A and B are shown apart, each in its own frame.
Chain A
């Protein structure tokens, strides 16, 4: 698929905006370019070659497209985001929007190099945009507003956020007579890192494997069993979880909830953890470990982010220009022992809950309680929902079976959890609509009664 021919650059809408947003129409800032500036890039856009995409046509228009028209949305201005902004800016992209709701923390400074000690406390998107715009003349990085995007690149630190983005792009797909309209596809390039490991993937929603198709690659976080924490600690981590989960809510030392970013809070947890550990002759509780457990810290270095963001930006460049065939579609990287990469084509899941358009099957006996259905939705490796809200249509009316996020409704619907599906009036083949933070569109399930 050739995405952006030089003749037609269709605009893609993320949201219907009620007010017209004044968009800088990208006037050529002729004064800021200098001789030779884009030589490194031009070789790949203006010369034919044996390995280019079959539809590639060398021309000077590609570079103009990058410089003047192509809009990129970068999600996240942290470890990967800083790297991505730099990479895109130096590859010719100028109309870049960056979204990030976070502010700058000292522990970011060992890798998020667009930020300085003076910037601590300021919003990441703003500082990142300012730095790039000043260092790369002509580049117009704009912090956060949604307009229209040709390509989306993610450097997120949460699977939920990825799934949300994934679901949103899928919801924008349009089908005519069951056939996908390619011009409604917005490519999503996704990067992730953890210590010395990382991955980069290209997702063409509706065409290639999406985030949810490969959800099993992200196994759910395992928490320690409660009985271990409460009565049988063996590791220093168990002692820390005891202080965090049991002692804090009971003693409320500083009132309110535990804030992992507050050193006083961590100190308190640290001291209680040490006491607990001493009781059981457990060694190894340190301040660093305490912070790590409470904040679920994932170790991070500049180098892994550099590698993954570089691979992602290379793919953005390929897709925007058709200079080469894009990655199809997943690359894994690990440099613990030497350097290792593995590149493969992740397959679409036939019954993916996000992109397959196939209603999901729910197999339960009529005597099963609603609680069991809820547990299935959260614990199943392919669904991994967080706090699903279940509704259905009974006697022509919309009925909420269970919803957790609104206190009054939770209280009202809680008794339903102990009722059986039969008692709730549900029949074989009934459709249940499930909403959850992991998916912007409700997922439809079909109840299939088993014996």
Chain B
């Protein structure tokens, strides 16, 4: 029995405050595929079902063993002997009646043999505890179909995640400490007029103490500029002098003692950030210069059309700057002064967004698409977030694994610290290699632990040799990975479960920035690292990607 709209609002209230109704809508339209309902898999899915994704499908050909039921909250003793996909689906479905749960009682390899397009229908595919060969095969299929692929693995006390997505755009990245967009260094006409409407010297005391600090800084900046050849305060000394100038503006009582004017104190405190020059962030400049922005076609995603429109705006109406964001922080002021000032910014933002809209229209027209294909509200949202746009691009798995394109430098430099999380990446590759050779993981049974150490060491060495990696892996790690015996302890699975689910939500909602592209969690030390393994020369590989968009897999 599905929930009513009101009961959903209630249930999802706490998360709606993070990603909004529009974010929730993307979740409810999503269909997630999980391959392998191990503890890690079901923990990930739990954190997607609870917030209300539209549907999930579990693909798993395995039968539930006693071991499976021992570490998996979504399998019970009765599940033993049943197909794992089916058993897990029952328990997961039960978490949230709004979600539609499905299962396929077959492994991914078999599925692909029979239907190469099976996975095309999913919003994202999450593959858990996959052997290397299956991973690479799936990676190739999903890459060609542009379906995001999240690879996860729990191995002993190590958690591993790899995001594989060609291009993921983020409009709402929700940065933690964003700089304000105040334009004090280049006040637009309406702002200038508004500043002019204030005469600090002739104001009544009450008005003087409740004038927004933005106006105060603007006024004193005008004064400074006129006295310094149009040059704003640049170094610490000058900024100090500027602060002092403002301080002298504080009204004094009949005894010459400065009054308590908190708004002036706010102005002084904000001088540093207020004087930041208005600049287009380099990340956004890079986006302007990318091929996707330069070549707008009928197939271009909305993101690029809007970005190109903003670029046009910057070169025309914007006079080199992005559209005004339109928000100001709260500050000491009386209601009217604050609201009036806020409206000056809001109206300018609306104007700029309208100008961007016109560019969007003509771009759409030029590729034969209707103007309505990009709604007004999307353009407004885009403009508001223009400084925070992000694009995440991950290299394919094939490139990661290829001897020709592996990133040796990154690996080698990380391994300068022999206990860096990179060692776990290499060990995971080594145990995969062991699996390929021996059709099992090392140390699963007690009697195997000792004898497998030398076998695993051989795998480590052959791996390092094949990729010409001149690094040393301590014997302790090889011993430890044999000891793990491919165990999947619940708490490590749960940690990955939360981490991976949130990354999947980011991919689905296009809000917040996903990791790029390898995440390692070490439960022994409670530390983690994000490794970016695939840049050939340490720079963002935009040019690289676009010169060869269809790399042979």
Interface, chain A (partner B; CB < 8 A): 32, 34-41, 43-44, 46-51, 83, 86-87, 90-91, 106-107, 109-111, 113, 117, 135-137, 195-196, 200, 232-235, 280-282, 288, 291-292, 297-311, 313-315, 317, 324-325, 327, 331, 335-341, 343
Contacts and interface: CB of A to CB of B under 8 A. Distances in A.
A195 to B, nearest CB: 6
Nearest to A299: B17
A314 B17 contact: no
Contacts of A87: 490-491, 494
Given A34-B80, A234-B330, A337 B176 contact: yes
A234 B495 contact: no
Contacts of B225: none
A120 B481 CA distance: 45
A135 B525 contact: no
Nearest to B506: A335
B519 interface: yes
Interface of B: 3, 7, 10-18, 39, 43, 46-47, 50-52, 65-67, 69-73, 76-77, 80, 95-97, 156-157, 173-176, 210, 330-331, 333-336, 338-339, 342, 446, 449, 475-477, 479-480, 483-485, 487-495, 497-499, 501-503, 505, 512-516, 519, 521, 523-528, 530
Contacts of B70: 34, 36-41, 90
Given A106-B11, A107-B11, 16 more contacts: A40-B487, A40-B489, A91-B490, A109-B50, A110-B51, A111-B50, A299-B17, A301-B502, A306-B494, A311-B491, A313-B494, A324-B524, A327-B526, A336-B176, A337-B176, A338-B515
B445 to A, nearest CB: 10
Contact of B210 (A136, A232, A337): A232
Given A49-B480, A282-B335, A300-B14, A310 B492 contact: yes
A301 B14 contact: yes
Contacts of B51: 110-111, 301-302
B50 A90 contact: no
Given A106-B10, A234-B339, A327-B526, A50 B479 contact: yes
Contacts of A305: 498
B339 A281 contact: yes
Contacts of A327: 525-526
B497 A306 contact: yes
Contacts of B516: 338
Scoring B339, B502, B503 by chain A CB atoms within 10 A of each residue's CB, the highest score goes to: B502
B77 A34 contact: yes
A40 B486 CA distance: 8
Contacts of A34: 66, 69-70, 77, 80
Contact of B488 (A40, A107, A297, A307): A40
Nearest to A341: B528
B10 A303 contact: no
Contacts of B503: 335, 339
B66 A302 contact: no
A308 B47 CA distance: 13
Contacts of B488: 40
Contact of B66 (A36, A110, A117): A36
A110 B498 contact: no
B67 A303 contact: no
A200 B157 CA distance: 17
B13 A288 contact: yes
